Amino acid sequence: MYEALLCFTQVKRIILYEALLCFTQYGIEATTIEMIKKKSNISIGSIYHHFQNKEGILVALVFAAVDDLNCYREKYLIQAKNFEESIIAIVLSYVDWVNDHPNFAEIILAGKFDVYHSGYGAKLEQKELVYKTKLINWLSMPQNISHLEHIPVELIPSLILGITEHYCRAWLLGRVKYNPIYFRKELAVLALRLLETYK
C-alpha cells in the first residue's frame, strides 16, 4: 500500500537513500537486496525493476556522488576572480562537500573501484573525464595558466587536492579525530604553497 502511493522518482530516491545507509553502515559486500528492501519498505520486484541488482544501485550512488561533488566545485569556482581564489575554491569545495555529505564521500571511497571494474567502468571514466576537462579549461584561463604552465599537467590535480583527499579519507575511515572542516583554510593554503614552490 505504501509503495503504491509513491511516484516513480520517489521510489528510486527512497531505494537509493536507504541503500546508501546500508552500504555505509554494513559495508557494500555485506549489504543484500533483502536488507535494502527491509530498510526502504520497497518490494524486491521494484528494486530489481529500477536497478537490476545491487551493483546497479551502487553504480547509481557513485555516479550521483561524483556529480554532486563536481556541482559543489563548479559553484565555488564561479565565484573565484583570480588564480589564488580558484585554488582555494577547489580545496574548500571538496572539504565542504565531504563535511556535508560524508555518506556520499564514503561511497566514492569504497565503491569507485568496484564500479571501475564493472560493466559501467567506461561510463564512469567518461563522466570523470568531462569534469576533469572542465577543470583543466578553467585552470587554462589567462589569469590562471601563467601560474601552472611550468608544472606537468598530470601533477596538478595531486598538488591541488592530494593532501586534502588524504586527510578526508583518513577522517572517513576513522583514523583521525578532527573533521576536515576544521582545517579547510589550512588545507587550501597548503595547496597554494605547493603550487607556488614547485620548480
Mean pLDDT computed over every residue of the chain: 90
Percent of the chain scoring above 70 in pLDDT: 95
The answer to whether position 51 is within a domain reads no
- Other C-beta atoms lying within 10 Å of the C-beta of residue 182: 13
The answer to whether position 168 is within a domain reads yes
Cα angle 23, 24, 26 (rounded to 5 degrees) comes to: 65
The answer to whether position 16 is within a domain reads no
- Asked whether the predicted pLDDT for residue 3 surpasses 80, the reply is no
CATH number of the domain residue 172 falls in = 1.10.357.10
Q: What's the average model confidence in pLDDT over 107-111?
A: 90
The answer to whether position 58 is within a domain reads no
Domains in the chain: how many in total? 1
CA dihedral 74, 77, 83, 85 (to 10 degrees): -140
What pLDDT score does 7 carry? 54
Instruction: Tell me the per-residue pLDDT of 120-129, one tens digit each, with 9 for 90 and over.
Output: 899 999 999 9
What pLDDT score does 103 carry? 94
Instruction: Tell me the per-residue pLDDT of 132-170, one tens digit each, with 9 for 90 and over.
Output: 889 989 998 888 888 998 999 889 999 999 999 999 999
What pLDDT score does 4 carry? 47
Q: What's the average model confidence in pLDDT over 46-66?
A: 91
Radius of gyration of the chain (CA): 19
User: Could you tell me the CA-to-CA distances from 160 to 38, 88, 115, 127, 151 in Å, in that order?
Assistant: 42, 9, 25, 20, 12
What pLDDT score does 5 carry? 42
The answer to whether position 4 is within a domain reads no
The answer to whether position 86 is within a domain reads yes
What pLDDT score does 194 carry? 94
Q: What's the average model confidence in pLDDT over 98-112?
A: 93
CA separation for the pair 102, 24 (Å, rounded)? 9
Domain interval for residue 142: 63-101+119-197
For 71-86, b/e burial (b = at least 16 CB within 10 A) is: ebbeebbeebeebbbb
Length of the chain: 199
What pLDDT score does 10 carry? 81
The answer to whether position 124 is within a domain reads yes
Cα angle 165, 61, 96 (rounded to 5 degrees) comes to: 35
